[in-house]
Structure 1
Amino acid sequence: MLKYQGSLQAKYSQFFQVAIVVLVLICGLLITPAQGQSQPSFPVVLDGRQIFQVSSTKASTAKDRAESISSQLKAVVKSEKSPQIEIKQVNSSPTIWINDRYILSITPKDNPGNIDPEKLAVTWANDIRTLVQKSQQERDIKFTRNISLLTVAILIIALFVNRSLGILCKITQRKFSQILESYASLGDYITTLNFLLRTTLILARIGLWVAVVLYITNLFPVTRYWSYKISSSIITSLTSPILKNNSLVDIFILIGLFLGLIILSGTATNLLRSRVLQALTISLGVQEAIAVICKYALIGIGSVVLLQVWGVDLSSLAILASALGVGIGFGFQDIAKNFGSGIVLLFERPIQVGDFVEVGQYMGTVEHIGARSVVIRTLERVSIIVPNSQFLEKEVINWSHQNPVSGIPITVGVAYGSDMEEVKIALLDAADAHSDVLRFPPPQVFFQGFENNILNFKLLIWIDKPNQQSVIKSDIYFLIAASLKQHKIDIPLNSHNLHVNSGDLPIKLSEQLEQALLHLSQGMNGTLVNKDN
């Protein structure tokens, strides 16, 4: 129970992190609107509904003018009085008044289609009257109650549809699996079918809840206003002109937004990897490739949006990008080479996360494929960071590539005079005694030839766990030693023969030394004679 609560808490903490970072990014976008050249027109909005667009005048910009009109219309809505709209001619221009209060004048710039100003004024007045009355009705208690009940009903229906989609997916998966299993040639397509069905289910559920959220958001005036403001801010950020002047505070805010974007991209990628990709029956290598590509795509798209929000024209960065390309080519050759190699590894996938590989003097399991390097966890549980280029420029042994079944040779030497058939039986018995040795392909014994004092044999076994080959080989050696002892087969020790040639030593002694040795030998002979007597 505690373990379940801990996993549930970790799950919700990730969602909270994403929500917090998203709110920070949205706030950053809202407090730093697109700057640069003034826009030719700006929309007049009431409760998230656009009425019309006005242009700038000599006295005020289009944005200030639109916000002033919007605020006056909000005051009319809050007054709860029925709007009395009139059109008056002031200085040869039609003006709109509400409850004897001036709202706006229609200027030639407000009329780009060269429509009759009087007709345009009547159209705008009717639009204002319709939306003001609708906004006043939406603030009625009865309307709010009805909309709240409608929202609850929509959520209940959405939950029911969400559950029904899951049941429908399971039924469809079961039906198609039964059909495919009845055909032996189509059995390999079950995994692909399950992946497509689950992906379709996820996309359908996402589309369902996005539609529900958008619909419910447009029911209430407040949520409709914020929805319109956020969407318009994002759209404006994509079309904003270049920003000429930046303060130090602006630069710090931009850096903070980029950091938030990186955190959001990493958290979203981790959620995609742990909540979505792990639920799909695809290999770890494909999961890692999808996660890394999504992460870089989010960072790239988010960077473009932030730069446009800040008013930076990306076309102006072409010269800077060219200069950086030259600098990278000369000063960061290894980094660029490893980054390019990482892209090749992600798309070509000669190695994948979870593969057991041997590169150079290192052997271990691939844990992570990054933009610059690959992390390998060795059998000693040590992490080795290998540059990506090593996997493309040198020979790499991938024990798990396409098929994890691998042959492991084990060399054994026995003494001369041993029964060779008994040796073969003993080695096969040792292989059969290990549970990790595959029965197909079957183990084989080969006679390698005659050595100085041994008969050399090779036992070839097959395993599907290449990352445990060292442990399996050790176990097999123990089993071979016991099996040879049981069959009374000797394993010879390494022996070395020492040959000494007899003959006169080429050493000359002085006459004094020869006399002394002669007297010594005669004395020893006399002593031996007395002892014998």
Structure 2
Amino acid sequence: MFDFHRLRLPLKYLNILITILTFVLVFWFTPVVSQALTKAPVILDGQQLFRISDSGQYSAQERTNLINSQLKNVISTSESIQVKIEKRNQLPTILLNDRYLLTVTQQDTLPGSTLDEQANIWAQQIKEALQQAHLERTRTYLQQTTFIAAVILLITVGFSWLLGWIKHQFIRVASLRLTTSNAIPNSETLKVLELFLKLVLASMRFALWMSAILYITNLFPFTRQWSYQISNILITSFTSPILTLGKNPYSLTELIVLVGLLFGLVIFAGTLTNFLRSRILSFTVINRGAQEAIIILLKYGLIFIGTLVLLQIWGLDISSLTILASALSVGIGFGLQDIAKNFGSGLVLVFERPIQVGDFVEVGEYTGIVERIGARSTEIRTLDHVSIIVPNSRFLEKEVINWSHRNPISRLHLPVGVAYSSDPKAVQSALLEAASKHPNVLQTPLPLVLFKEFGNNTLNFELLVWTAEPNKQFLLKSDLYYIIYEVLQQREIEIPLAQLDLHLRSGKLEFTPEMHLALIQMVERLSNQESYIDSTNPIERGTEGVDI
């Protein structure tokens, strides 16, 4: 079995292959656009024999209707086939079983052929077609054709399944090569590739089944007419004008070709800019943000200029699109104002560059690395590898913390509280020792310890350290706190718990004469009330002293 893991097709050249195939298909089918159906076909059992033109007062369609009806009558009967040519009015005339069938005129001849040569060719074609029609109506031919049709259906089912299997295998291999733990752009490329393969698979399956159906219906003389009609409908649908811009009518095929050219232009621009990024800009001293700005400007510039050139080559007058552009501007102003605002903000971000690809930023509650700056939105990958899509306008309307802007060196603040019994100089020495033990703490500028305040329960210090990797600040703080705790324990510096102490002073309690008199009166009053209760409640008095 073929091992797809050994497939070494460079995925970076996939866009080049797609571009080549697009242009090949486009220019292959372009001649079909300019073809004009100026003649009517002579058809027998759905099979076209030749085409004839107008003759005198009879149109081409009227002549072919007469010929087709006579051919059908001969097939329906079992009489022998006799095709002869006679001269009538100095023109060769084809007779079928001694009955008039067709007069060959000068308009019917092909370039480089005479009237007699054209008449002989057509007479031979008619004779062979009628003999073949009689043969195709025999029982043996129908049995063989039925068997062939069944085999073709089985082959079509097998190929349809095989295309789906190849697509799944290709996606699986591509995902193994593209998807990594820290490659978010590769996962986006994988989604685009999967969508493209699904479209290609659906198109190939449709073409496969349509070809099989047309071939099978073309095998049987009774259904061959259906094949011809379907083909004629498809050709007519794709070649008939459906849109007129200026003075030029355009058919569906022409529009498909134009869309294909524009699609190929987009792929070409993306392939060229990716090649420029990976092969040229990556070896320069330009930072990643400036590289992305150059790539974005070049890509959209190529697409814009290329679109104008293609429309001009296609024969489309750009001035005829002014009304459409005006309508779009009104629509953008009212219904698409948010999109327009984000698009304008994207241009400002590209030119002004307050943020760049690779910067570590904080936008509201989101913190992460800028992975992509698009036309409408910006992608931020958080430290949890979660992609956040932020509209471009948010970077200009609200405050954004950019830790990597111009100079990535940043200072971190680590508050530390110790007991009041600690020596401040010993605490300062311990914190500086902890900072010196971490390799990601810069020694220039030097770490610094600030004595912040006398807190409720602690002496509050703050360790200030510098780092060149702000995107790793949370890990750096965690490591430093581990080291600080270890150093403070070694130096027996206490980190107190939050507590509240209540102190009561001892001494002699003295009362004023007024307070002494008031207390005596209150005691006497309570004694009188207790005596009254005892005299009025003998039950309670009798149970006095009983422990219940």
Give the alignment's TM-score, normalised by structure 2.
Answer: 0.51
1:519 positional shift:
7.4
CA distance, structure 2, for counterparts of residue 337 and residue 520 of structure 1: 94
Do the aligned partners of residues 22 and 252 (structure 1) sit closer, same or farther apart at CA in structure 2, a change above 3 Å counting? closer
Encode CA deviations 1:117-164: one digit per residue, 9 max, x unaligned.
Answer: xxxxxxxxxxxxxxxxxxxxxxxxxxxxxxxxxxxxxxxxxxxxxxxx
Q: Read off the aligned partner of 2:265 and give its amino acid letter.
A: L
The equivalences for 1:337-352 within 5 A come to 337-352=341-356
- Give the equivalent residue in structure 1 for 2:249: 245
- Give the equivalent residue in structure 2 for 1:229: none
The equivalences for 1:199-278 within 5 A come to 243-278=247-282
Task: Judge conservation of contact 2:33–2:253 (CA < 8 Å) in 1.
Answer: no
Q: Tell me which of 296, 300, 312 is aligned to 2:300.
A: 296
Task: Judge conservation of contact 2:417–2:458 (CA < 8 Å) in 1.
Answer: yes
1:12 positional shift:
4.6
- Give the equivalent residue in structure 1 for 2:312: 308
- Give the equivalent residue in structure 1 for 2:10: 9
- Give the equivalent residue in structure 2 for 1:523: 545
Other structure's SS at 1:423 match: helix
Task: Judge conservation of contact 2:19–2:264 (CA < 8 Å) in 1.
Answer: no
Q: Tell me which of 452, 474, 477 is aligned to 1:470.
A: 474
1:286 and 2:308 correspond: no
- Give the equivalent residue in structure 2 for 1:326: 330
Task: Judge conservation of contact 2:416–2:460 (CA < 8 Å) in 1.
Answer: yes
CA distance, structure 2, for counterparts of residue 450 and residue 518 of structure 1: 62
1:465 positional shift:
0.1
Q: Read off the aligned partner of 2:396 and give its amino acid letter.
A: L
1:301 positional shift:
1.8
1:320 positional shift:
1.8
Do the aligned partners of residues 261 and 429 (structure 1) sit closer, same or farther apart at CA in structure 2, a change above 3 Å counting? same
Structure 2: which 5+ residue stretches go unaligned?
1-5, 35-244, 505-518, 520-525
1:265 positional shift:
2.3
1:26 positional shift:
5.3
CA distance, structure 2, for counterparts of residue 348 and residue 270 of structure 1: 23
Task: Judge conservation of contact 1:14–1:271 (CA < 8 Å) in 2.
Answer: no
- Give the equivalent residue in structure 2 for 1:434: 438
Task: Judge conservation of contact 1:444–1:460 (CA < 8 Å) in 2.
Answer: yes
Number of residue pairs aligned between Structure 1 and Structure 2: 311
- Give the equivalent residue in structure 2 for 1:444: 448
1:259 positional shift:
2.4
- Give the equivalent residue in structure 2 for 1:384: 388
CA distance, structure 2, for counterparts of residue 519 and residue 391 of structure 1: 86
Encode CA deviations 1:428-470: one digit per residue, 9 max, x unaligned.
Answer: 0110000000000000000010111111000000000000000
Q: Read off the aligned partner of 1:323 and give its amino acid letter.
A: A
1:523 positional shift:
3.4
- Give the equivalent residue in structure 2 for 1:19: 20
1:282 positional shift:
1.1
1:299 positional shift:
1.4
1:427 positional shift:
0.5
CA distance, structure 1, for counterparts of residue 412 and residue 500 of structure 2: 31
Q: Read off the aligned partner of 1:324 and give its amino acid letter.
A: L
Other structure's SS at 2:379 match: strand
Other structure's SS at 1:410 match: strand
CA distance, structure 2, for counterparts of residue 462 and residue 309 of structure 1: 59
1:458 and 2:467 correspond: no
CA distance, structure 2, for counterparts of residue 493 and residue 400 of structure 1: 38
1:292 positional shift:
1.1
CA distance, structure 1, for counterparts of residue 275 and residue 427 of structure 2: 56
Encode CA deviations 1:259-315: one digit per residue, 9 max, x unaligned.
Answer: 232233223322222222222221111111111112111211221122223321111
Do the aligned partners of residues 418 and 320 (structure 1) sit closer, same or farther apart at CA in structure 2, a change above 3 Å counting? same
Do the aligned partners of residues 414 and 340 (structure 1) sit closer, same or farther apart at CA in structure 2, a change above 3 Å counting? same
- Give the equivalent residue in structure 1 for 2:484: 480
CA distance, structure 1, for counterparts of residue 479 and residue 295 of structure 2: 39
1:371 positional shift:
0.2
- Give the equivalent residue in structure 2 for 1:359: 363
Q: What is the percentage of aligned positions where both structures have the same residue?
A: 53
- Give the equivalent residue in structure 2 for 1:317: 321
Q: Tell me which of 386, 405, 411 is aligned to 2:409.
A: 405
CA distance, structure 2, for counterparts of residue 259 and residue 432 of structure 1: 57
The equivalences for 1:38-57 within 5 A come to none
Task: Judge conservation of contact 1:29–1:309 (CA < 8 Å) in 2.
Answer: no
CA distance, structure 2, for counterparts of residue 431 and residue 15 of structure 1: 52
Q: Which has the larger radius of gyration?
A: 2
Do the aligned partners of residues 452 and 21 (structure 1) sit closer, same or farther apart at CA in structure 2, a change above 3 Å counting? same
Q: Read off the aligned partner of 1:465 and give its amino acid letter.
A: E
Do the aligned partners of residues 13 and 260 (structure 1) sit closer, same or farther apart at CA in structure 2, a change above 3 Å counting? closer
Q: Read off the aligned partner of 1:490 and give its amino acid letter.
A: E
1:415 and 2:416 correspond: no
Aligned-CA RMSD value: 3.6
Encode CA deviations 1:12-43: one digit per residue, 9 max, x unaligned.
Answer: 5454344334544555777768xxxxxxxxxx
Task: Judge conservation of contact 1:357–1:399 (CA < 8 Å) in 2.
Answer: yes
CA distance, structure 1, for counterparts of residue 260 and residue 465 of structure 2: 58
Do the aligned partners of residues 495 and 363 (structure 1) sit closer, same or farther apart at CA in structure 2, a change above 3 Å counting? same
Give the alignment's TM-score, normalised by structure 1.
Answer: 0.53
CA distance, structure 2, for counterparts of residue 521 and residue 438 of structure 1: 85
CA distance, structure 1, for counterparts of residue 339 and residue 362 of structure 2: 23
